[in-house]
Amino acid sequence: MLHLLVFSVFGLICVAGAINLLVQRHPINSALSLVVVMGSLAVEYLLLGAEFVAAVQVIVYAGAIMVLFVFVIMLLNAGVEERSKGSRVAMLFGVPGVLIGTVLVAWVLLARSGTGNVAVGALPGPPKVIGWLLFHDFLLPFEVTSVLVLIAIMGAVVLASHPGSKQPDKREG
């Protein structure tokens, strides 16, 4: 009972945050709504027993990625969204399409699904278990993703570097 209640509350907060993201016109407000969404999602993870994931969600997602977003918004001085000619197709086909798709999936899941119930804290909790998996069964993906992150960093540095500082290098090189 409590489980359901907590789930509903934080689920509602999630959805509210998501909708707020859509509604807000200034990107910074959208960013902050997204943080709210991530926070409530972390609670949902906790309910499911995935403590490590919840922690990583808060630390990495909300704490690093969103901060990055906020920094960029600040850097680029993104202002209020201006009105511009939208895409007719997106409006006409896209949004209704998404709505229809979601409704269909939801209907299928709610009305027909034979999936069972999930208990609170159903997942084994300690990070030790996850660590074991990471370094034994998923070692290769783990290493690859670390390389990926490295590449991403380098790429970001290259892409975002000021063109003025690059050009003298080109001329000399």
Partner 1 sequence: MVPLSYYLVLSGILFACGVTGFLIKRNIITVFMSIELMLNGVNLSFVAFAAQWHALSGQVFVFFVMVVAAAEATVGLAIIIAVYRTRETLNVDRINLLKL
Partner 2 sequence: MTPNLNLWLIPVLPLVGASINGLFGKRFSRQTVLAIALGFCGAAFVMALWIAAQFSSLALPHVENLASWIRAGDFQVDFAFYLDQLSLVMLLVVTGVGLLIHIYAVGYMWEEGGFYRFFCYLNLFMFFMLTLVLASNYLLMFVGWEGVGLASYLLVGFWFTKDSAASAGKKAFIVNRIGDFGFLIALFLMIKHFGSLNFAQVFRIVGEMPAETAGAGLLTAIGLLLMVGAAGKSAQLPLYVWLPDAMEGPTPVSALIHAATMVTAGVYMVARSHVVFDRAPQALMVVAIIGTLTALFAATIGICQTDIKKVLAYSTISQLGYMFMACGVAAYSAGIFHLMTHAFFKGLLFLAAGSVIHAVGGEQDMRKMGGLRHYIPWTFWTMTAATFAIAGFPPFAGFFSKDAILWKAFSSPYGSWVYWAIGVFTAFLTSFYMFRLWFLTFFGEYRGEAEAGHGNDHLQVVGGSRAGAPAPLEHGHDGIHESPKIMLIPLVILAVLSVCGGWIGAERFDKFLSPALHAGVTAYSSDEVAAATPAPEPKEDGGSEGLLTGISVLAAASGLFLAWLLYQRRPQLPQEIAHALGGFYEAVVHKYYVDEIYAAVFVKPLIDGSTRILWQGVDRDVIDATLDNSAEGAREVSDAMRHMQSGNLRTYAGWIAAGAAVVIAYMVWTGTR
Residues in 113-172 at the binding interface with partner 1, rule: CB under 8 A:
113, 115-119, 122-124, 129-130, 133-134, 137-138, 141-142, 145, 148-149, 151-153, 155-160, 163
Among left, alpha and beta (phi > 0; psi -120 to 50; other), residue 91 is alpha
Contact of residue 31 among partner 2, partner 1, none (CB under 5-8 Å per partner type): partner 1
| Alpha-carbon distance values, 146 to 51, 62, 140, 143 (Å) | 22, 20, 10, 5
Exactly one of 9, 36, 105, 173 binds partner 1 (CB under 8 A); which one?
A: 105
Q: Is the separation of the CB atoms in 12 and 65 below 8 Å?
A: no
Radius of gyration over alpha carbons of the chain, in Å?
Answer: 21
| Alpha-carbon distance values, 94 to 30, 71, 87, 88 (Å) | 21, 31, 10, 9
Question: For residues 1-30, which are near partner 2 according to CB under 8 A?
Answer: none
Could you tell me which residues come within 8 angstroms of residue 173 by beta carbon, excluding any fewer than 6 positions away?
A: none
Question: For residues 14-43, which are near partner 1 according to CB under 8 A?
Answer: 14-15, 18-19, 21-22, 27, 30-31, 34, 37-38, 41
Exactly one of 60, 143, 166, 167 binds partner 1 (CB under 8 A); which one?
A: 60
Among left, alpha and beta (phi > 0; psi -120 to 50; other), residue 111 is alpha
Exactly one of 4, 22, 86, 140 binds partner 2 (CB under 8 A); which one?
A: 86
Q: Is 106 in the site for partner 2 (CB under 8 A)?
A: no
**CB 141, min distance to partner 1, A:** 6
**CB 168, min distance to partner 1, A:** 17
Q: Is 104 in the site for partner 2 (CB under 8 A)?
A: yes
Tokens of 82: 């201006």
Question: For residues 114-173, which are near partner 2 according to CB under 8 A?
Answer: none
